[in-house]
Structure 1
Amino acid sequence: MNRELVLAPPLAPPRWYRLRRQLRDAVLALPRYAALLLFGAFTVFPFWWATAAALSSDGAGIWIFPAAFLPNDPGLRWFGRVFYEMPFWRYFGNSLLISTATTLLVLLLTIPCAYALSRMAFRGRNALFVLLLVTLMVPAEVAIVPNFITCAQLGLLDSYVAVVLPNVAGAFGVFLMRQAFQDTPAEVLDAARVDGAGEFGVMCRVAVPMARPMIATLAVFTFVAAWNDYLWPAVVLKERLKMPLAVGIFNDLTGPFAVSTNLVMAAIVLSVIPVVGAFALTQRFFLSGGGLVRR
């Protein structure tokens, strides 16, 4: 008669052992969390200080630390003055138009270029990609003079087209999307080709949907860069009502309103809120390790 060997379940470790292990893990993690808290404090400090100054009715105490971190007689009077004493909504609309147009055009040009460099075989593909990477080492300020001359010759100065056009082609977006398309399984693309899809159809129906997290990441980076851009719009735009938010607020606040630090801080807070909102809406595409989450 066969007898089955029954093994006794493993004994759970004693409570004191579990507590000691948890305490050890907490002690080992303490330096990491302390570094994260320190980094977070340095990151949040400017925005916290600006918000406290914008909410303070009296601006005399914003240079007294640590009292400056808390609003003095809090109120919204400085935010109301921002809307009343400068065309804030016009600046906001200009920034939204420029940033949205730049983002859409960057995606429209970058995605086909990156797909061709990653999935289409042609002579000189690697040399062309290396040449694109070399342009990343060239400072953006170097291109201001030739771009200004080009826009002047085309009669585009003091127009939104002059602000958007030089920023729609960049090597960073091509590099980012090329890496995303290279991670796409080749078997899936080959299956679409066998089903009769052309190369353009394979890109639009297969590669692009599978690279949506990276596309969203590129869109956020491009939108934030266009929203915060100051130098190039300040060079090509002359009419005040065409200025984006960064340029318009700076010009106004360094002019007749320069004496009011609280007004400056209120305008800065209002200009940062859209960028923070854009990131909050797309934060699920980011992981703490720098990767992407696919849902």
Structure 2
Amino acid sequence: MDKTELGAFLRSRRDRLRPEDIGVPAGPRRRTTGLRREEVAVLAHISTEYYVRLEQGRAPKPSGEVLAGIADALRLTEAEADHMHLLAGTLPTRLSQHRRDVRRSILSLLDRLPQIAAFVMSAAFEVLAWNDLAAALLEDAMGPTPNGRNLARRTFLGSPPPDASRYGLADTRQFHHFVVMELRSALARYPSDPLITGLINELREGSAEFVRLWERHDVQATPMLTKTFRHSVVGDITVDCDSLKLVDRDQHLVLYTAVPGSSDAEALALLNVLGKERISLTGRD
């Protein structure tokens, strides 16, 4: 049970609700912007004292029934409720460390998708495997750099500082939010994984933007269904983005495709040719 994170998460969700959300008039003398602790306790059918201790990180481990009541009181989404249970230690974690080895069948699949930019990403946003088109589309994101092949690190700690063209993405703000929410969920699943905790500490120390988003305590990431890449050779390319969960290893197979016959599809086809030429001249990294 991570009492500190649980308390911070509960406070952040309580602050986001308004009295009118639960049918309570705000009143002119109300100082609290969100709900009061006693209001949440009443809605959750628990004592105010116990709820206060939960937010302060001083309460014993809550039961599943208590957490269910709090989830209803705070109007939590399914993802937020799952995150709260993980923090409270009432859901099993998978492993002490996240998996970084990619199944052989997935590696083979990447090479059988020549018209699709595809790569495998770990729970810590490390690119573990990719095909030629993905390397050509994301340009230097697959190459050996001081920040490695970690998309979270490259996004927030890249040099020059992150902007609208960080490793080609034109919609960086949405990606920033997505990265932070996914890393928070990963930390709840692997609280003792040194790679994940070290990455988050590094990002907190090196990026004010990461800290700002981290302190929002959001956990339900909105899927990015399309992305626009600003490529140095072929210009802007808008692609459909599909992320398939590889449940057994807590990894994602990310697929970028374009509408057949579109200018974006033509640009991807050109990149595919250029990528193969680069590989034949330099070899795979």
- Smaller-chain TM-score bracket: under 0.3
Bigger-Rg structure (1/2): 1
More helix by share: 1
Tell me the TM-score normalised to structure 2 length: 0.23
Q: Name the structure with the higher strand share.
A: 2
